[in-house]
Amino acid sequence: MTVLVAGNGLASTFELDVAVNKATWVSKDPPVQRKAIAQASLAYWKNFYGRIPNNSPIDDEWLANEMNSKDTERMTRAINSSQYSLDQLRKLGKYCVDVYKSIEQSVGNNKQFELYLWLKAVHCYSGASNTLADLENAGLSNGRYDGPFHMIHFGIVLPHITGDLADALESE
């Protein structure tokens, strides 16, 4: 399987989304399939993370002050801000890149540790509606799964990880 990797000619999240979907069907050999999913997912999340701008240091300071206040109005205003959305999206993107790097290296080694990492990857997909809302609030997308940040594969990969993939690891 050929996986599109983010580089000089960045693949769109549409192309990467399709690559992750295809990886879930790439092989009847579970370790080969898991490696393909990990590689395609890592490419997707690197692209995702690379497209989320950083908050300015001033915005980060404001956000920290608002979130650390005891005033619920200030905290609510912060949570509804584009700065908070960008912060959450960057945290998610970095987390998912780190998890998929680890998964890619662990496939076929210690199956319990590999399963642990796959279960950590569930976090990448479990809050899809929040991710869509944050993308829209940050002005980066239209709030749709087929928007500028293509996320169709979220609904396919999540049940695959917790179903077929986990079952295959358990039976190896």
Tens digit of each residue's pLDDT (9 = 90 or more) over 69-90: 999 999 999 999 999 999 999 9
What is the average pLDDT across 122-144?
95
pLDDT at 73: 97
Specify the higher pLDDT residue, 24 or 139.
Answer: 139
Q: Give dist(CA 29, CA 122) in Å, integer.
A: 22
Residue 11 confidence (pLDDT) above 60: no
Residue 38 confidence (pLDDT) above 70: yes
Cβ count within 10 A of residue 81: 18
What ranges do the domains of the chain cover? 13-171
What's the whole-model pTM score?
0.88
Q: Give dist(CA 97, CA 76) in Å, integer.
A: 29
How high is the mean pLDDT of the chain?
A: 88
Residue 148 confidence (pLDDT) above 60: yes
pLDDT at 12: 65
pLDDT at 5: 39
Read off the pLDDT of residues 154-169 as tens digits, 9 standing for 90 and up.
888 888 888 888 888 8
The percentage of the chain sitting over the pLDDT mark of 90, rounded to a whole number, equals 62
Contacts of range 106-115, beta carbons closer than 8 Å, 24 or more positions apart: 107/31, 107/34, 107/35, 107/38, 108/31, 108/35, 111/169, 111/172, 114/34, 114/169, 115/166, 115/169, 115/170
